[in-house]
Amino acid sequence: MRSFRSLSAQTGMIGWLWMSAVVIVMDQLAKWQAEANLELGQPVVVFPHLNMTLSYNFGAAFSFLADMGGAQRWIFALLAIVVSFFIINWLRKLNKTRTWTAVGLSLVLGGAIGNLVDRLMYGKVIDFIDVYFDIPMVMENYHFATFNVADMAITGGAVLLVLLSLFSDQMD
């Protein structure tokens, strides 16, 4: 049985771009399902601390710059395109034995393009995953920012890259 690392060495950049493509497709399918089955702002309880709640984000993370009157759509679209080219170039130059770095970059790339599709097509990002916490005597129903599959991929990939940069030689 081949190891993940040897599989990575044989896969190369095209395989990592396929991973990004899978993230994009999963993200877009999930958003399509959310829009087809959820009403804007109406939570559907999945289980305690997790709702599916359709919302639209006209800004960036945590609705950053959402009130710029539309210019943010193009600013964040351009930023996503620049970051995507940077990541593709990094993947192209990356040593084929740097499996986990490639995984992190592929996740970030897929997530960035998933949200870019929304910005270009709709002028907003479709979010629907609503996580909340009840902290007794401090706050009730603290809702974390509503997010989507692309956001999870970006976060997971970024966390992986940070961990690798701190604890590994995998960043070359």
Q: Which residue has 């993370």 as its token pair?
A: 61
27, 118, 130, 151: the catalytic one is 151
Of 51, 22, 35, 23, the C-alpha closest to 124 is 35
- Could you confirm whether 130 is annotated as catalytic? no
C-alpha span between 83 and 49 (Å, rounded): 33
- Could you confirm whether 169 is annotated as catalytic? no
Q: CA separation (Å) from 53 to 7, 45, 145, 147?
A: 39, 9, 11, 9
The answer for residues whose C-beta is within 8 angstroms of residue 145's C-beta and 6 or more apart is: 61, 62, 63, 127
27, 118, 127, 130: the catalytic one is 127
Q: Tell me phi and psi for residue 38, to 5 degrees.
A: -120, 150
Is 93 in contact with 102 (CB distance < 8 Å)?
A: no
Which are the catalytic amino acids?
127, 151
